Amino acid sequence: MSEYTLKISEDEALVLFDYFSRFDETGDLSFRHPAEYVALQRLAGQVDKTTSAMFKPEYTQLLTAARQRIAAGFEGEVPCLKSDEIP
């Protein structure tokens, strides 16, 4: 499995920390300031540049396997999870 490094500024780190902390406390993913959306989009833009797996014919299988590896051993509750969408 490949590893990637993503870079964010101190400002982005602070804004994302607050956003994720609020989500952890409330389960609410709504944005409270445009900077939260911008910081998240900048991070997503970096992710887009790291892999081409999303263009492979076996994307669904790759995504399922990645989700299983990442979630392996996790036993907590997940806020806002739509379990009817989990294969």
Radius of gyration for the alpha carbons in the chain, expressed in angstroms and rounded = 15
4-50 pLDDT, tens per residue?
999 999 999 999 999 999 999 998 999 999 999 999 999 999 999 99
pLDDT of 86 > 70? The answer is no
User: What pLDDT does 87 receive?
Assistant: 55
Report the C-alpha gap between 18 and 46 in whole angstroms: 20
* Whole-number Å distance between alpha carbons of 80 and 27: 6
Question: Rounded to two decimals, what is the model's pTM?
Answer: 0.79
> Is 82 in a helix, a strand, or coil?
coil
Binned at pLDDT 50, 70 and 90, residue 84 comes out as: low
Main-chain dihedrals φ then ψ at residue 14, nearest 5 degrees: -65, -45
pLDDT value, residue 81: 77
Q: What are phi and psi of 72, to 5 degrees?
A: -55, 125
Tokens of 31: 């944005």
